[in-house]
């Protein structure tokens, strides 16, 4: 196994086994369910220029973003506090470790 393969295996384990890991249902065209995407959900508190609020994010493997054709405006449904919540992907924040943070907007 190459180092790159090991990193991909470790990332897959991470996004499935963190305490905040959740399965999102991807609806890339807004209506038809495509697949389950594992990721790490967070609802971060942010404050900017005297405005504050919650910023939901979902960290996934970058390969999942590419494999499933996720784009801005893709819809994902995530179980949050026993409710299935629909979010729209507003921004992608890829990093150099093979993970991408999706900045979400609740629908």
pTM (predicted TM-score): 0.72
Contact yes or no for 71/89 (Cβ under 8 A): yes
Residue 30 DSSP symbol: S
The DSSP letter of residue 68 is: T
**For residue range 5-51, what is the model confidence (pLDDT) as tens digits?**
776 777 777 766 666 666 666 655 555 556 677 888 888 787 888 88
Torsion of CA 28, 31, 36, 40, to 10 degrees: 70
Per-residue pLDDT of 47-105, as tens digits, reads 888 888 888 998 888 888 888 778 888 888 887 777 788 899 999 998 888 889 999 99
């Amino acid at each position: 196994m190459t180092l790159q393969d090991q990193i991909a295996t470790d990332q897959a384990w991470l996004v499935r086994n963190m305490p905040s890991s959740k399965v999102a249902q991807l609806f890339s065209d807004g209506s038809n369910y495509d697949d389950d995407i594992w990721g790490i959900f967070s609802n971060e508190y942010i404050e900017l220029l005297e405005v504050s609020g919650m910023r939901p994010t979902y960290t996934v493997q970058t390969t999942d973003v590419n494999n499933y054709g996720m784009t801005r405006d893709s819809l994902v449904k995530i179980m949050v506090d026993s409710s299935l919540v629909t979010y729209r992907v507003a921004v992608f924040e890829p990093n150099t470790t093979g993970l991408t943070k999706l900045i979400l907007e609740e629908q």
